[in-house]
Amino acid sequence: MKFKIGELRHPEVVKLLQEHHQDMLSLSPPESVHALDLTALEKADITFVSVWIDNRLAGVGALKELENGHGEIKSMRTSKAFLRQGIAANILNFIIEQATMRSYNRLSLETGTMEAFKPAHKLYLSFGFTECPPFGSYKVDPNSLFLTKVL
């Protein structure tokens, strides 16, 4: 398993991010979809990571700095060929390590509330994330679940 920072414009990464965005739009109303596009993921306050196994894209994720000491997990997605193989847990570990190295004291995320998001809920809860109110520019939304973890 190889982690690469950047590689955002790699064709396989672009394809996975497009799949991710379309999937989010199929599950949630557009106003409740907070997945970032390629341009947004390239901003200086975001660190994008891709995970590769045998030169095949296994998954992606990003860490966004919200404010001093507070980061947000964005755009986590596992490639279909690698589902249920621990890729998301490895990406989450990597992002938590990055946040810790940056001396963040809190890491938060927004995810959906629908049944399709239950595996993600289980993963985040197993890593010690707990429910929290909306953070940053988010608003209360019945389609969003907000989670945070003190580091």
Q: What is the DSSP string of the chain?
A: -EEEE--TTSHHHHHHHHHHHHHHHHHS-GGG-----HHHHTSTTEEEEEEEETTEEEEEEEEEEEETTEEEEEEEEE-GGGTTTTHHHHHHHHHHHHHHHTT-SEEEEEEE-SGGGHHHHHHHHHTT-EE----TT----TTEEEEEEE-
* pLDDT tens over the chain, length 151 residues: 999 998 899 999 999 999 888 887 778 877 888 888 888 899 999 999 999 999 999 999 999 999 889 999 999 999 999 999 999 999 999 999 999 999 999 999 999 999 999 999 999 999 999 999 999 999 999 999 999 999 9
**pLDDT at res. 124:** 98
Q: Would you say the pTM of this structure is higher than 0.85?
A: yes
Task: Specify the pLDDT at position 120.
Answer: 94
